[in-house]
Amino acid sequence: MPRPSPLPPAEPQVPDNLPPHTLSVVVPMYNEAENVEPLLERIHLALGTYPCPWEVVLVDDGSNDATPSELGRCANQYGPHVRIVRLRRNFKQTAAMQAGIDAARGSVIATLDGDLQNDPIDIPRMAARLLVENLDLVAGWRKDRQDNLLRKIPSRIANRLIARMTGVYLRDYGCSLKVFRASAIKNVRLYGEMHRFIPAWLATVTTPRRIAQEVVTHHARVFGQSKYGISRTFRVVLDLIFVYFFMRYRTRPGHFFGGIGIMLGALGGLILAYLFGVKIFWGESIGTRPLLFGGFFLVIAGVQMVTSGVLAELLARIYYESGNVRAYLAEDAPTPGDDECWRQPQGQPG
């Protein structure tokens, strides 16, 4: 007997002005066994009267609890429109989300967390805005966030820092509930901790004017434990530096590293020129001066910044963006055809 849903009752609200499309709902899950059944129940409540074909792509990110068996049981219960992607180990949320996006077949892709804090009830409204306003991304804004201050305060600081550094001004970068145009998000590759920077990455392939935010419902966590700790702050800072570099200098990386290299080289050159003058005009010995070694190594560091730094960044982008390399490894599974395994609108054959 299914247990009562931990989420408050809600009525599905499907806008009447939805243009024709197909929808994929992508949910990465790691050790969320208790949330699988109520999440799928909520998704089917939200999309039960959806007027367009839709599917659910659940990504098991190497869970070591009962999540895999729960996913299999619930997928059999609901039908072939509930698809499962199983990763061979825990590759973390960003890689799991990328795996789900790669597997999604819809022209519109919605992503949300598997912890029941994001509410699928908001998806139809966000999808309608995406299509009617011709946007590439509608990002959720947890205006009434149901988390403690230890999570809210760092998140608010991070949101402002990310917005200022990237130039994409959103109030909530950390909300996983987002709706994308598939043709846009499939041009972006995610790895590291980049899932929280998706709006900034998307701005590298589209204009920020096609990115909007929408107030969404947020629930307190009922089952399971949060997978995030204070340690993620340091990873976020490192990823933010790389996002800033890539957004500003991806087509001219030599300007970034070359600028630093020129400053270091110029400083080292000035030091060496000063020591050269001291030696020539005053006849002083400079062979044992620490300043000589400092000037020499500054010049070498400048040359290295111009060469090895640029090459390292370019090689990293080639490695991750080549068609044969991904940030995850999934088990082999047959891919259904374009006309199979969709949840069809009511009154139409499935």
Residues 89, 186 within the same domain: yes
Whether residues 194 and 244 share a domain: the answer is yes
Between CA 79 and CA 75 the distance in angstroms is 6
Q: How many CB atoms lie within 10 A of CB 90?
A: 16
Mean pLDDT of 6-14: 75
Q: Residue 92: which CATH number?
A: 3.90.550.10
Answer yes or no: is 135 within a domain: yes
**Two structure tokens written together for 324:** 């044969």
**99 and 50 inside one domain:** yes
Q: What is the pLDDT of residues 124-183, one digit of tens each?
A: 999 999 999 999 999 998 887 655 555 556 666 666 777 777 777 787 877 889 999 999
Summarize the confidence of residues 322-329 as an average pLDDT. Answer: 61
pLDDT for 347 equals 59
DSSP state of 208: G
**Residue at which a domain ends, from 233, 248, 263:** 248
Between 137 and 287, the higher pLDDT residue? 137
Which residues contact residue 156 at a Cβ distance below 8 angstroms, ignoring those fewer than 6 apart? none
Residue whose entry in the numeric block shows the structure tokens 């619930």:
74
- At 32, list the tokens: 């969320």
Q: Are 229 and 257 contained in the same domain?
A: no
pLDDT for the residue numbered 82:
96
> Is the domain of 275 the same as that of 175?
no
Q: How many domains does the chain have?
A: 2
Model pLDDT for residues 33-70, shown as the tens digit of each residue: 999 999 999 999 999 899 999 999 999 999 999 999 99
In the sheet with 23-29, reading across from the earlier edge strand, the strands are 82-86, 54-60, 23-29, 108-111, 178-181, 137-141, 211-215
32 in a structural domain: yes
The model's pLDDT over 201-248, given as tens digits with 9 standing for 90+, comes to 888 788 888 999 999 988 876 665 655 555 555 666 777 777 777 777
Tell whether 273 and 223 lie within a shared domain: no
Q: Is residue 142 a contact partner of residue 112, using CB atoms and an 8 Å limit?
A: no
Query: What percentage of the chain carries pLDDT values higher than 70?
Result: 79
* Residue 236 maps to a domain: yes
- Please, are residues 105 and 55 in contact by the beta-carbon 8 Å criterion? yes
pLDDT value at 189 more than 80: yes
Q: Specify the length of the chain in residues.
A: 350
346 located within any domain: no
Longest distance between any two alpha carbons in the chain, whole Å: 97
Q: Look at 259 and 263; give whichever has higher pLDDT.
A: 263
DSSP secondary structure letters along 134-193: T-SEEEEE-TT--S-HHHHHHHHHHHHHHHHHHS---S-SS---EEEEHHHHTT----TT
Is residue 158 located within the same domain as residue 288? Answer: no
155 and 270, same domain (yes or no): no
- For the chain, helix, strand, coil in percent to 5 are 45, 10, 40
Within 10 A of 207 (CB to CB), how many other CB atoms are there?
9
Q: Quick check: is 4 in a domain?
A: no
Same domain for 101 and 58? Answer: yes
Percentage of the chain modeled with pLDDT above 90: 39
Domain end (from 248, 272, 298): 248
Residue 180 belongs to domain spanning: 23-248
The Cα 56–Cα 83 span in angstroms is 6
Q: How confident is the model at residue 1 (pLDDT cuts 50, 70, 90)?
A: very low
Chain-wide mean pLDDT for the chain?
Answer: 82
The pLDDT tens digits of the residues spanning 61-111 come to 999 999 999 999 999 999 999 999 999 999 988 899 999 999 999 999 999
Domain-embedded: residue 345: no
Q: Looking at the chain, list the stretches that DSSP marks H as alpha helix, in order from N- to C-terminal side.
A: 33-47, 67-78, 93-103, 123-132, 149-166, 182-185, 198-202, 232-249, 253-282, 290-321
For β-strands 178-181 and 108-111, DSSP reports them as antiparallel
284: tokens are 């002083």
pLDDT of the residue at 289: 82
Query: What value does the mean pLDDT take over residues 310-326?
Result: 65
Does 328 map to a domain? no
- 161 lies in the same domain as 207: yes
Please indicate, yes or no, whether residues 113 and 185 belong to a single structural domain of this protein: yes
**Cα(96)–Cα(103) distance, integer angstroms:** 11
The residue out of 248, 264, 286 marking a domain boundary is 248
Q: 241 with 281, same domain?
A: no
Tokens for 46, please give them.
């939200």
Residues in contact with 337: Cβ distance below 8 Å, sequence separation at least 6, in sequence order: none
The answer to whether the CB of 212 falls within 8 A of the CB of 129 is yes
Q: Give a yes or no: residue 327 inside a domain.
A: no
Read off the pLDDT of each residue in 271-293 and give the average, rounded to a whole number. Answer: 84
